[in-house]
C-alpha cells in the first residue's frame, strides 16, 4: 500500500496537523481510527509504502481494526482509495468546499445585514463559545445557517437544540439533524413551541410511569406501548382518571394487553365519551343490558354460546362480570 501526500517535508521535520482535524474530526473518530490516521500522515510525509498486515503489526492492532479505520476515513472523505493505496486528502480543502459550495446558491437578499441576521450571528457565536470553546470549525457555521433555513427555527430554539445534544454528549451532525427533524415534525419553530413540547413530553412521561405502576410492569415500556399512551392522551384527550377505568377492566387478566386497552379506549372515543361520568354511565348500561340478556336466556332455556357470533365490539364487552369491580 502506497501513501501519498501533497506535502513533501524535509527529513527531521515535525509532522503537523491542521487545526481543523481537532475541531472537526478528532472528537467523533474512535481511538484506533485516530491512531491509524496519524501514522498514515507520518508515513505519507516520506511517501512510504506499507502493507495492511505490516500496519497491523506496527500499530499492534487487529487487521480488522485497520480495515474498519480505513473505511471510516474513506467514508468521511479524509482519504481516497486508489489501486496502489490511499491518498490523504487536504482537510483544509474539504472544509473550504463545505463552506463555499452552499454559498453558490445564495441570493443577494441572504447576504444583507439585517437586524435579524446580526442577532443570529450573535447566537451562532454563543454556540461557538458555549459548546466549542470558541474554536468551532467553519463548516459548522454553514450547517447552522442551513438548519435555520430548513427548519425555520428561531434563534432560541437553535441554541436549545445544541444544548440538548451537548447535555447528552452527542454533539455531532447526525444526532443534531435527527433531533431537529423530530422537533420540526412537532411543529416547533419558536421557543414557546418548544416549551409546550417539553411540557407535553413530561406529561406523557409521568402518565407512562403511572400506567406502568398500576399494571405492575417491572420493565420500560416499548415504543409501541408509548405510542398507545400518546394516542390516548394527545389524540383522544383522555387523562389518567379515564385511562384508569380501562385499566380496571384488566384486573382479571394474567397478562394485560395494551391492545385490549386500546380497543376499549378507542371504542369510548368513537362513541364521543369524553368524561368519567359518561363512560361510567355507558358501562353501567352495558352491564344492565348483559343482565337482561342473561335473564332472558335462563327463562327461555336458550344458552347456545358456541353458535353465537360476536363482532369485535361484542367480544370486547362479552365478560360483563368485569364491570362489577
Distance (Å, whole) CA 255 – CA 215: 9
Provide the β-strand partners of residue 81.
86
Cα 181 to Cα 3, 150, 153, 275: the distances in Å are: 40, 10, 11, 35
Residue-by-residue pLDDT tens, the chain, 325 positions:
666 655 554 556 788 888 888 878 887 889 999 999 898 888 887 787 878 888 888 899 999 999 999 999 988 888 888 877 888 888 877 776 666 554 444 444 554 455 667 788 889 989 999 999 888 888 898 899 899 999 999 999 999 999 999 999 989 999 999 999 999 999 999 999 999 999 988 999 999 999 988 888 888 888 899 999 999 998 999 999 999 998 887 765 556 688 889 999 999 999 999 999 999 998 888 877 766 656 555 655 555 544 344 345 555 665 544 444 4
Order of all β-strands in the sheet with 85-88 = 2-4, 85-88, 79-82
Kind of pairing between the strands at 79-82 and 85-88: antiparallel
Cell numbers 445557517 label which residue? 145
**Dihedral over alpha carbons 91, 92, 98, 104 (to 10 degrees):** -150
Domains and CATH numbers, the chain: 2-93 (1.10.10.10), 106-189 (1.10.10), 219-324 (no CATH)
Distance (Å, whole) CA 263 – CA 245: 13
Query: Model-level pTM greater than 0.85?
Result: no
| Three cell numbers, residue 167 | 447535555
Q: What is the pLDDT of residue 77?
A: 84
Closest CA to 318 of 296, 295, 286: 286
**192 C-beta neighbours (distance < 10 Å), count:** 12
Q: What is the pLDDT of residue 99?
A: 60
Q: What is the pLDDT of residue 195?
A: 94
Q: Give just the sign of the alpha carbon dihedral 283, 287, 292, 296.
A: positive
Amino acid at each position: 500500500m502506497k501513501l501519498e501526500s501533497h506535502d513533501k517535508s524535509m527529513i527531521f521535520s515535525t509532522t503537523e496537523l491542521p487545526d481543523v482535524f481537532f475541531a472537526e474530526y478528532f472528537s467523533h473518530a474512535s481511538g484506533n481510527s485516530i491512531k491509524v490516521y496519524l501514522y498514515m500522515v507520518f508515513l505519507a510525509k516520506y511517501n512510504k509504502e506499507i502493507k495492511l498486515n505490516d500496519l497491523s503489526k506496527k500499530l499492534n492492532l487487529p487487521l480488522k481494526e485497520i480495515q474498519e479505520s480505513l473505511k471510516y476515513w474513506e467514508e468521511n472523505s479524509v482519504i481516497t482509495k486508489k489501486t496502489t493505496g490511499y491518498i490523504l486528502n487536504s482537510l483544509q480543502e474539504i472544509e473550504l468546499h463545505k463552506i463555499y459550495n452552499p454559498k453558490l446558491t445564495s441570493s443577494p437578499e441572504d447576504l444583507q445585514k439585517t437586524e435579524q441576521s446580526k442577532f443570529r450571528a450573535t447566537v451562532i457565536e454563543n454556540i461557538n463559545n458555549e459548546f466549542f470553546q470558541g474554536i468551532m470549525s467553519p463548516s459548522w457555521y454553514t450547517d447552522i445557517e442551513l438548519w435555520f433555513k430548513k427548519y425555520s427555527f428561531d434563534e432560541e430554539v437553535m441554541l436549545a437544540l445544541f444544548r440538548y445534544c451537548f447535555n447528552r454528549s452527542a454533539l455531532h451532525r447526525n444526532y443534531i439533524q435527527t433531533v431537529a427533524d423530530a422537533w420540526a415534525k412537532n411543529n416547533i419553530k419558536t421557543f414557546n413551541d418548544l416549551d409546550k413540547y417539553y411540557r407535553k413530553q413530561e406529561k406523557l412521561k409521568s402518565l407512562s410511569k403511572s400506567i406502568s405502576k398500576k399494571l405492575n410492569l417491572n420493565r420500560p415500556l416499548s415504543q409501541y406501548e408509548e405510542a398507545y399512551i400518546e394516542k390516548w392522551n394527545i389524540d383522544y384527550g383522555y387523562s389518567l382518571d379515564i385511562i384508569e377505568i380501562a385499566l380496571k377492566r384488566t384486573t382479571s387478566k394474567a397478562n394485560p394487553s395494551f391492545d385490549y386497552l386500546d380497543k376499549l379506549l378507542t371504542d369510548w372515543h368513537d362513541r364521543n365519551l369524553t368524561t368519567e361520568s359518561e363512560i361510567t354511565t355507558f358501562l353501567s348500561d352495558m352491564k344492565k343490558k348483559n343482565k337482561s340478556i342473561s335473564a332472558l336466556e335462563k327463562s327461555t332455556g336458550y344458552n347456545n354460546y358456541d353458535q353465537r357470533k360476536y363482532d369485535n365490539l361484542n367480544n370486547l364487552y362479552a365478560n360483563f362480570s368485569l364491570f362489577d369491580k
